[in-house]
Amino acid sequence: MTPAAGSPMPKVPEVSASSRFGNSEPPRTIGDAEFARFQAWIERESGIFLPDSKRTLLIRRLGRRVAELGLDSFAAYYRRARELGESETIVMIDCLCTHETAFFREAKQFELLATRILPAWKAEAEAGDRPRRVNAWSAACSTGEEPFSLAMMLAANLPAEEGWRIEILASDLSTRILALAREAVWPAERAAAIPESYRKRFLLRGRNLQEGKVKAAPELSALVRFERINLAAASYPVETALDLIFCRNVLIYFDPPTRKGVIARLARHLKPGGLLFLGHAENLAGAAGPDFRPEAPNVYRRTSPGEPVTALRPPVVR
């Protein structure tokens, strides 16, 4: 399908690079006791551990929110945020999260899918050894480039006309970022990493007020659904057993006990033989238990009962 260039696209929500401050200037320091309170609160609510080396990051990012509320200190913000409850907790976590992403980021992992995993699934389906269905999860999807990259690759290689059904869950901790991801609209320059055949088939080009932007075609958007999920929660609202989980560049923000718990919960949602994709600086050493064996660098296969497990590599320090 080649989309019409003039198809209508919704207006992209504007995201300001800086907050509109109230009467206060952002605070420039935070005391040890105050920082410790935020450390404990942030880790309890999100699983994200902020070491002392991230104190400057907290001051810079959260200070804008403090000023936006017309407050003059982190102590005052802590009291106000606790009064406001869950809604402000979500805003606070959103201020601190890093949302770096790109289409077909860590290209070797997508190459693995295209050259080894998907051809094997097609052969198994033709032999009657697996259903023509793929369920995937992009955990920490940011502004949507990752789940839509996955949707393009799956739709192109496992066509609906051959009976394949694809469903991708895309989740993030940030409600603001999820709203942007749902729009599925990006600056055109971000699409440069997308293979040309995919761009022609799956993207609409903006015209007039949307000049310089691209949008996922309806065919693609129909494959992706969005939900806010906190990976540090005790359980996940994921009801379908999954073939693929992309959880990339997330585990690095958790301390070892939290990381181990997240991996165990992810394993419960993967089918035996399903694949877990991590970021380039992440691996499962010391946290995988008996559930995974290495498939490729930073890619792990969920083991079947009784299957021997290969020793995992030690963590890579970067």
pLDDT score at 305: 57
Other beta carbons within 10 angstroms of residue 129's beta carbon come to 9
pLDDT at residue 7 tops 90: no
- 265 with 235: CB under 8 angstroms? yes
Which pairing describes strands 213-216 and 185-187: parallel, antiparallel, or unpaired?
antiparallel
Other beta carbons within 10 angstroms of residue 109's beta carbon come to 23
Which residues carry out catalysis? 61, 172
pLDDT at residue 195 tops 70: yes
Q: Which of 226, 240, 231 is nearest to 270 (CA)?
A: 240
In sequence order, the 6+-apart residues with CB closer than 8 A to the CB of 148 are 103, 184, 202, 216, 220, 224
Note the maximum CA span of the chain: 68
pLDDT at residue 73 tops 80: yes
How confident is the model over 84-94, as pLDDT tens digits?
Answer: 988 899 899 88
In sequence order, the 6+-apart residues with CB closer than 8 A to the CB of 126 are none
Average pLDDT value for the chain: 86
pLDDT at residue 19 tops 50: no
Provide the percentage of residues in the chain whose pLDDT is more than 70.
Answer: 86
How confident is the model over 255-294, as pLDDT tens digits?
Answer: 889 999 999 999 999 999 999 999 988 888 765 556 888 9
Phi-psi region of 70 (alpha: psi -120 to 50; beta: other; left: phi over 0): left
